[in-house]
Structure 1
Amino acid sequence: MTHQDELKKLVGQAAVEFIEDQTVVGLGTGLTVRFMVDALGEHVK
Protein backbone atom coordinates (compact mmCIF):
# COMPACT_ATOMS: atom_id res chain seq x y z
CA MET A 1 0.00 0.00 0.00
CA THR A 2 1.36 3.42 -0.91
CA HIS A 3 1.81 6.25 1.56
CA GLN A 4 -1.12 8.06 -0.03
CA ASP A 5 -3.31 4.97 0.37
CA GLU A 6 -2.32 4.76 4.05
CA LEU A 7 -3.42 8.38 4.49
CA LYS A 8 -6.72 7.66 2.74
CA LYS A 9 -7.26 4.73 5.08
CA LEU A 10 -6.70 6.96 8.11
CA VAL A 11 -9.14 9.55 6.75
CA GLY A 12 -11.76 6.90 6.02
CA GLN A 13 -11.42 5.47 9.51
CA ALA A 14 -11.57 8.91 11.12
CA ALA A 15 -14.73 9.80 9.19
CA VAL A 16 -16.59 6.99 10.98
CA GLU A 17 -16.26 8.91 14.24
CA PHE A 18 -18.59 11.60 12.85
CA ILE A 19 -21.40 9.16 12.01
CA GLU A 20 -24.11 8.94 14.64
CA ASP A 21 -27.17 6.69 14.91
CA GLN A 22 -29.81 7.46 12.27
CA THR A 23 -27.33 9.49 10.19
CA VAL A 24 -27.82 9.44 6.42
CA VAL A 25 -24.43 9.11 4.76
CA GLY A 26 -23.85 10.17 1.17
CA LEU A 27 -21.07 8.17 -0.42
CA GLY A 28 -18.77 9.06 -3.24
CA THR A 29 -16.47 6.72 -5.08
CA GLY A 30 -12.91 5.73 -4.58
CA LEU A 31 -10.53 4.14 -2.18
CA THR A 32 -11.21 6.47 0.75
CA VAL A 33 -14.90 5.54 0.68
CA ARG A 34 -14.01 1.87 0.62
CA PHE A 35 -11.86 2.31 3.72
CA MET A 36 -14.65 4.25 5.43
CA VAL A 37 -17.26 1.59 4.65
CA ASP A 38 -14.94 -1.14 5.92
CA ALA A 39 -14.34 0.82 9.14
CA LEU A 40 -18.06 1.53 9.53
CA GLY A 41 -18.79 -2.17 9.21
CA GLU A 42 -16.31 -2.92 11.97
CA HIS A 43 -17.73 -0.11 14.10
CA VAL A 44 -21.31 -1.43 14.01
CA LYS A 45 -20.27 -5.08 14.40
Structure 2
Amino acid sequence: MKTSMARTPLGKALAKARIDLDESLADMAAKLSISLRGRD
Protein backbone atom coordinates (compact mmCIF):
# COMPACT_ATOMS: atom_id res chain seq x y z
CA MET A 1 0.00 0.00 0.00
CA LYS A 2 1.58 3.24 -1.17
CA THR A 3 0.85 6.40 0.77
CA SER A 4 1.51 9.87 -0.59
CA MET A 5 1.75 11.06 3.01
CA ALA A 6 5.20 9.49 3.30
CA ARG A 7 6.52 12.18 0.94
CA THR A 8 5.43 15.07 3.14
CA PRO A 9 7.41 16.29 6.18
CA LEU A 10 4.40 15.54 8.39
CA GLY A 11 4.13 12.04 6.97
CA LYS A 12 7.82 11.42 7.60
CA ALA A 13 7.51 12.75 11.16
CA LEU A 14 4.50 10.53 11.81
CA ALA A 15 6.28 7.49 10.39
CA LYS A 16 9.33 8.16 12.58
CA ALA A 17 7.14 8.69 15.65
CA ARG A 18 5.36 5.42 14.93
CA ILE A 19 8.65 3.55 14.60
CA ASP A 20 9.92 5.12 17.85
CA LEU A 21 6.67 4.12 19.58
CA ASP A 22 6.90 0.55 18.28
CA GLU A 23 10.50 0.30 19.48
CA SER A 24 9.72 1.67 22.94
CA LEU A 25 6.73 -0.66 23.28
CA ALA A 26 8.85 -3.63 22.26
CA ASP A 27 11.51 -2.55 24.76
CA MET A 28 8.93 -2.24 27.54
CA ALA A 29 7.46 -5.64 26.66
CA ALA A 30 10.91 -7.22 26.73
CA LYS A 31 11.70 -5.69 30.13
CA LEU A 32 8.33 -6.79 31.46
CA SER A 33 8.77 -10.38 30.28
CA ILE A 34 12.28 -10.47 31.76
CA SER A 35 11.03 -9.18 35.11
CA LEU A 36 8.14 -11.66 35.08
CA ARG A 37 10.52 -14.53 34.35
CA GLY A 38 12.85 -13.33 37.08
CA ARG A 39 10.12 -13.80 39.70
CA ASP A 40 9.87 -17.56 39.21
TM-score by length of 1: 0.40
- The structure, 1 or 2, with the larger RCO (C-alpha pairs under 8 Å, 6+ apart) is 1
The structure number with the bigger radius of gyration is: 2
